[in-house]
Amino acid sequence: MEKIENYDFEYYDRGLINNIYRSGFHLDGSLSFLYQMLKQIDKYSYLSKEAKNRIKWFDYYRKTDNISLTCRHFGISRKTFHKWKKVYNPTNLFSLENKSKTPKRKRQPVITDLQESRIILLRKKYLCYSKIKLAKIYENLYEEKISSWKIQRVIQRYKLYSHPKRTAKITKKRLRSQRKKKITELKKKKRVGFLLCLDTIELRSLNVKRYIFTAIDNFSKVAFARMYKKANSYNASDFLNRLIYLVNNNLENIQTDNGSEFEKYFKQACLRLNLARYYSRPRTPKDNSVCERFNRTIQDEFISLGNYTPDVPRFNRNLTEWLIEYNFNRPHISLNYETPINFNNSTKVLPMYPSDTFTCFYNTKCYNNSNPFIGGGCPIWASQKNQIYWFFCLCNEFFPKPFCLTIARRTIFSLYILNDCFAEVIIQI
């Protein structure tokens, strides 16, 4: 805390003052009023929406000097206006914040010392019994009815658990966990990119496990899939980054199940990309029916026809060819027998493709010629940045003239590159 000479107030923001001094400047006393004014403005930036609306009431009232006109203008009653006028303090705008509505006198649990000692004895004797069983035994033994919640409070206060470590671990986990938003809370809208559904397929053959991450747009039915050796959160975040690259950040909400592969790194990726995430209810596959149907389609129309191989790169190359067939040629009943790409064009919505990367290979906004990791900032997966950069360099060597691609060709090239099929792209070119 520092005190400015010849003034009666003190500064508490020591970090800001130290930064000013380290930059070679000095906080002069003549600037102290400006400093205080800026601090006041910053303080009131945390006002709630309701408080800001009430400030508008009194600003309008100050101009008109008419309470009835002010109430009619804002659609409020005179009683409400007078209520807030009594507490309004022009020097403290936080006086217009909502007041707490909790009762002044709350109900308190009443447990006598005798009841508490009896409960402790019963709990120590029957350590594994539930609170309801203990309440019944208490009533039979002492001929006095007691609430099971009183027993619960005594158990919590004295930590009379059969497995204290396990109970403490569960309690800590519950406190850390946040409330999950269920998919039933989301009001679905009919537009591309509003909701993308994700799921995982587990494949087993000859004691070898492989996992396919799948994603499909809930409205347009444009789909993407990729095989991994493990179903962990690191691979799930990698899949999400590839997906974001494919849709060019045109994504609002995602839906997943409660699996562990959609935690940790995947959750961090969602926070970094500012995506709203919704969860399917446990043991309710109909919540994610679109992606579940796509999972069955990929197994019936691709894997079961002899296309499975535990070799991940080879499988992803074959899968890319099938995804192109699925998105461009296969009619969909839910789309009135149109393909997803044609459906997007018919509804005047651009299909899923990274528009800022393949305008031409000479002008790729994702990468800088001097440094492949500096540029427009598409969220491309970290492990593949270098490969794609050198692929662009290779294209520039073979094709000296820049060339532009159609929308359909851009999508095909994106699917090839996202599954590491660089040779196929050169063949297509």
Are 138 and 58 members of one domain? no
pLDDT, tens only, 241-265: 998 888 878 899 999 999 999 999 9
Structural contact between residues 160 and 119, judged by C-beta atoms closer than 8 angstroms: no
Listed range (141-150, 271-280, 342-351) with the worst mean pLDDT: 342-351
Closest CA to 418 of 296, 346, 327, 293: 327
* Residue 26 lies inside a defined structural domain of this protein: yes
Q: How far apart are CA 83 and CA 12, in angstroms?
A: 35
Are 68 and 20 members of one domain? yes
pLDDT, tens only, 78-113: 999 999 999 999 888 889 999 888 888 888 888 999
Beta bridge partners of 210: 203
Helix (H, G, I), strand (E, B) or coil at 152: helix
What is the pTM (predicted TM-score) of this model? Answer: 0.55
Are 35 and 91 members of one domain? yes
Closest CA to 316 of 225, 387, 388: 225
pLDDT, tens only, 159-209: 999 898 998 888 888 877 778 899 999 999 988 889 999 999 999 988 899
* Residue 51 lies inside a defined structural domain of this protein: yes
Structural contact between residues 346 and 338, judged by C-beta atoms closer than 8 angstroms: yes
Range of the domain at 155: 113-176
* Residue 87 lies inside a defined structural domain of this protein: yes
Are 154 and 120 members of one domain? yes
Backbone dihedral angles phi then psi of residue 196, each to the nearest 5 degrees: -115, 125
- Quick one: pLDDT at residue 383? 41
- Quick one: pLDDT at residue 19? 65
Strands 276-279 and 253-256: parallel
Are 29 and 73 members of one domain? yes
Helix (H, G, I), strand (E, B) or coil at 110: coil
* Residue 410 lies inside a defined structural domain of this protein: no
